């Protein structure tokens, strides 16, 4: 597969082995079964079917699945490391890369729980590695096929992977001149999405999604702006009025928080609270949810039309909160000493999953580290846009495309859902890799 520049498979094996040993013996933030694990084990229709099928292939032996996930993730990290070697980075820089990734325990912990994230991470690593080094390799037919399988697998594993799959797939076809390789790539690309569809309808009659919950969360944080608006549908108007009263409490609390790290994280958490606990928030008025169930999209669109700047602010808040992990854990307790208890505080606590307790000083260092990455990566994204669309420089085309694609993906997620590190963390190794490649080219 790696046939140019005399790439040494010995290095790949070493990178894989180091990754496997470190991940295997590192502590995990998660239990082997988390709350979301049951939805995969039970093959619920809100989930893609590939991971439930994997569980069945291992006869529900969760320990074996974890071992498989650690191996797969380690292999993908080994491929990323080899990609850095192909780009001319020395062993010290590659070692720094592996240290940064492997000591991100939040990232590696996903390989030790029954969730689809580790497979998703691995497919992203493999896809982007092969995509950015394809121009420097004479990819054999098997490698071309495998690249297609990995890119198609991103979409087949998690719905939000659709953006990555479609854009990478289109770019591959546009850049590939060999018709036979296009066909081989396309066959690989569709295998896992088609298989997922077959398996899904073997387990379920119809698909569902979490989009309805996402819309509910957006309505909750937007409806406070609509207390004076009249709606044609009485049920819709009553719903917006009731939600506005509840939302106003939250909006006033958030408006008084001067700390952006705390504010953005709490805004995202309240959106999650509304997504999954709206009935509890509404209390005696919860029956109104049934009356407007089919009208939620129109309600949200009207709210966005009323105040698009508010929606943009909410989207930006979600985007920034992804890059500020731990803001609530670090600052909320101290803030509450001099402030009133947050509204719906019990629901806010319920929305937080069980995660290993971490020292606040360490969390603060991690948060500052991610904010630093945000600043650097924002600069690199602007640089990529400048090189692609103003200089029209194709020399760094693949790196520029991936740089922009990741930020575009995160922004779209911020628009349609809320902020959680689980949306940013899949791209953590890719972001570090891009930064190191850019740095190496600058000072080489």
Q: Has residue 304 got a pLDDT over 70?
A: yes
Torsion sign across C-alpha atoms 69, 71, 72, 74 = positive
Q: What is the pLDDT of residues 156-203, one digit of tens each?
A: 999 999 999 999 999 988 888 888 889 999 999 999 999 999 999 999
Sketch the domain layout of the chain as residue ranges: 9-208+359-443, 211-318
In the 8-state DSSP scheme, what is residue 135? G
Q: What pLDDT, on a 0 to 100 scale, did the predictor assign at position 3?
A: 42
Instruction: Please say whether the dihedral angle defined by the alpha carbons of residues 128, 129, 135 and 138, taken in this order, is positive or negative.
Output: negative
CA distance 429 to 444: 22
pLDDT band for position 1 (50/70/90)? very low
219-238 residue pLDDT tens: 999 886 444 555 556 667 77
pLDDT at 341 over 90: no
Q: What pLDDT does residue 421 have? A: 85
The dihedral formed by the CA atoms of 442, 96, 431 and 440, expressed in degrees to the nearest 10: 10
CB atoms under 10 Å from CB of 174, counted, come to 8
Q: Is 162:203 a contact under the CB 8 Å cutoff?
A: no
- The more confident residue out of 283 and 407 is 407
Cα dist. 100→104, 108, 237, 340, 402 in Å? Answer: 6, 11, 51, 39, 20
Q: How many CA atoms lie within 13 A of 313 on its CB side?
A: 11
Distance CA 425, CA 209 (A): 22
| CB contact burial 100-128 (16+ within 10 A = b; e otherwise) | bbbebebbbbbbbbbbbbbbbbbbbbbbb
Q: What is the pTM of this model?
A: 0.92
The least confident of 232-246, 288-302, 393-407 is 232-246
Which of 101, 144, 99 is closest to 121 using CA atoms?
Answer: 101
- What digits encode the pLDDT tens for the residues 132-144? 887 566 557 778 8
Token reading at 50: 């590939």
- Report yes or no: 407 and 60 within 8 Å, Cβ to Cβ: no
Average pLDDT, the chain: 89
Regarding predicted confidence, which is higher, 285 or 4? 285
Give tens-digit pLDDT for 347-399. Answer: 888 766 555 667 889 999 999 999 999 999 999 999 999 999 888 877 888 89
Over residues 272-294, mean pLDDT: 82
């Amino acid at each position: 597969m790696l046939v140019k520049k005399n790439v040494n498979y010995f290095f790949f094996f070493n990178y894989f082995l180091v990754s496997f040993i470190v991940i295997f013996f590192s502590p995990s933030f998660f239990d082997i079964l988390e709350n979301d694990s049951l939805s995969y084990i039970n093959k619920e229709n809100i989930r893609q079917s590939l991971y439930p099928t994997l569980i069945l292939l291992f006869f529900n032996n969760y320990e074996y699945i974890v071992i498989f996930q650690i191996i797969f993730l380690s292999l993908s990290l080994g491929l990323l490391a080899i990609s850095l070697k192909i780009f001319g980075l020395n062993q010290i820089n590659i070692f720094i890369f592996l240290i940064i990734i492997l000591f991100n325990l939040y990232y590696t912990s996903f390989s030790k729980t029954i969730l689809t994230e580790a497979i998703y991470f691995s497919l992203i690593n493999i896809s982007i590695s092969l995509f950015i080094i394809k121009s420097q390799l004479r990819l054999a037919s098997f490698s071309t096929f495998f690249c297609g399988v990995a890119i198609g697998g991103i979409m087949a594993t998690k719905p939000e992977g659709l953006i990555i799959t479609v854009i990478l797939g289109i770019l591959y076809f546009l850049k590939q001149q060999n018709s036979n390789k296009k066909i081989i790539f396309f066959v690989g690309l569709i295998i896992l999405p088609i298989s997922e569809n077959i398996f899904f309808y073997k387990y379920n009659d119809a698909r569902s999604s979490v989009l309805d919950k996402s819309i509910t969360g957006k309505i909750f944080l937007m409806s406070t702006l609509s207390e004076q608006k009249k709606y044609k549908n009485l049920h819709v108007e009553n719903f917006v009025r009731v939600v506005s009263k509840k939302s106003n409490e939250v909006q006033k609390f958030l408006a008084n928080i001067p700390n952006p790290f705390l504010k953005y994280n709490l805004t995202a958490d309240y959106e999650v609270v509304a997504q999954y606990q709206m009935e509890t928030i509404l209390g005696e008025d919860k029956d109104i949810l049934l009356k407007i169930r089919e009208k939620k999209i129109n309600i949200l669109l009207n709210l966005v039309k009323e105040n698009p700047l508010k929606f943009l602010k909410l989207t930006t808040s979600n985007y920034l909160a992804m890059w500020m992990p731990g803001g609530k854990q670090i600052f909320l307790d101290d803030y509450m000493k001099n402030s009133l208890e947050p509204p719906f505080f019990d629901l806010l606590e319920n929305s937080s999953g069980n995660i290993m307790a971490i020292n606040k000083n360490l969390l603060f260092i991690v948060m500052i580290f991610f904010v630093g990455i945000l600043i650097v990566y924002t600069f690199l994204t602007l640089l990529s846009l400048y090189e692609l669309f103003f200089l029209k420089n194709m020399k760094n085309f693949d790196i520029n495309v991936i740089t922009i694609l990741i930020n575009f993906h995160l922004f779209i997620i911020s628009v349609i859902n809320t902020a959680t590190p689980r949306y940013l963390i899949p791209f953590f190794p890719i972001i570090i890799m891009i930064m190191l490649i850019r740095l190496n080219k600058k000072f080489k």
